[in-house]
Amino acid sequence: MKKSTIEEIRERFDHDVERFANLETGQIATIDATISLELITEAAKRIIPNAKKVLDIGCGAGNYTLKMLSKVPNLNCTLVDLSLPMLDKAFERVSVETSGSVEVKQGDIREVELPENHFDIILAGAVLHHLRDDEDWETTFAKLFTLLKPGGCLMISDLITQDTEILNEYTWKIYGDYLEGIGGAEYRQKVLDYIEIEDSPRSMNYQLDLMKKVGFSKVEILHKNMCFGAFGGIK
């Protein structure tokens, strides 16, 4: 199946700002969204308690940075997203929560120019599943590695798959049941259809192995529930 283009993804998010700006519910279609948000930000705080600079890729309306600021105050924040309306909302919300600088960059993380060896923390919340082939994944992870200071961490919360097809089918059936429980059969189909068109997630094993391959010294699993996980690596 032909996947959505970056432009199509950007357009969809341009029209979905308010939903992504709800810190309490976050993404209702995401299992354990609030748990994963808590875990990756708390882990980042414990790894680098004196952090000064955070980069939030695919920042949406800023929920991950806001949570990070509740744990490590007054960070200098760099927000990257495809969607300008999302960035405007994120800037508005983040600016009032930090005395540090807030910089926004509209664009694809694969192409946006950012300083190397610069960030203490990189947050990637529900964004990397938009990467496509192996080369795309590897070059993106390698870039994120170079952007971190030594000792810095990349923390990920995302949609994931299983490496074993029979278990993959099982986890997606459970997820489908979860969606149906929230919004009925029609909602289940709607979410699964847009995942099919827009997303190309990889397994947690794949991503942890890739982190090690590009140079991360440690990788950690924080949480996994069916086809969602929270995990990260330290440079």
Three-state DSSP class for residue 55: strand
Mean pLDDT confidence for 48-68:
97
| 13 or 167, greater pLDDT | 167
Distance CA 64, CA 71 (A): 11
Written as six digits, the tokens of 220 are 């950690």
Using CA atoms, how far residue 129 sits from 53, 86, 136, in Å, is 24, 18, 11
Indicate if the pLDDT at residue 204 is higher than 70: yes
pTM, two decimal places = 0.94
Q: CA 178, 57, 171 angle in degrees (round to 5)?
A: 20
Written as six digits, the tokens of 170 are 């099982």
Mean pLDDT confidence for 204-233:
98
Distance CA 209, CA 211 (A): 5
- Strands of 53-57's sheet in order across: 102-106, 76-81, 53-57, 119-125, 148-159, 228-234, 218-225
Q: Each residue of 210-223: pLDDT tens digit?
A: 999 999 999 999 99
**pLDDT band, very low/low/confident/very high, at 9 (cuts 50, 70, 90):** low
- One-letter amino acid at 214 equals V
Residue 165 has a pLDDT of: 97
Which domains are delineated in the chain?
6-234 (3.40.50.150)
Residue 25 has a pLDDT of: 46
Distance CA 60, CA 192 (A): 21
Indicate if the pLDDT at residue 21 is higher than 60: no
Residue 178 has a pLDDT of: 94
Start-to-end CA span in the chain (Å): 36
**pLDDT band, very low/low/confident/very high, at 8 (cuts 50, 70, 90):** low
Does residue 228 contact residue 36 with C-beta atoms inside 8 Å?
A: yes
Does residue 62 contact residue 87 with C-beta atoms inside 8 Å?
A: no
Q: Each residue of 183-201: pLDDT tens digit?
A: 999 999 999 998 998 899 9
- The HSE-up count of residue 167 (CA atoms within 13 Å, CB side) is 9
**pLDDT band, very low/low/confident/very high, at 29 (cuts 50, 70, 90):** confident
The CA-based dihedral angle spanning residues 207, 212, 213, 215, taken in that order and rounded to the nearest 10 degrees: 130
- The HSE-up count of residue 66 (CA atoms within 13 Å, CB side) is 20
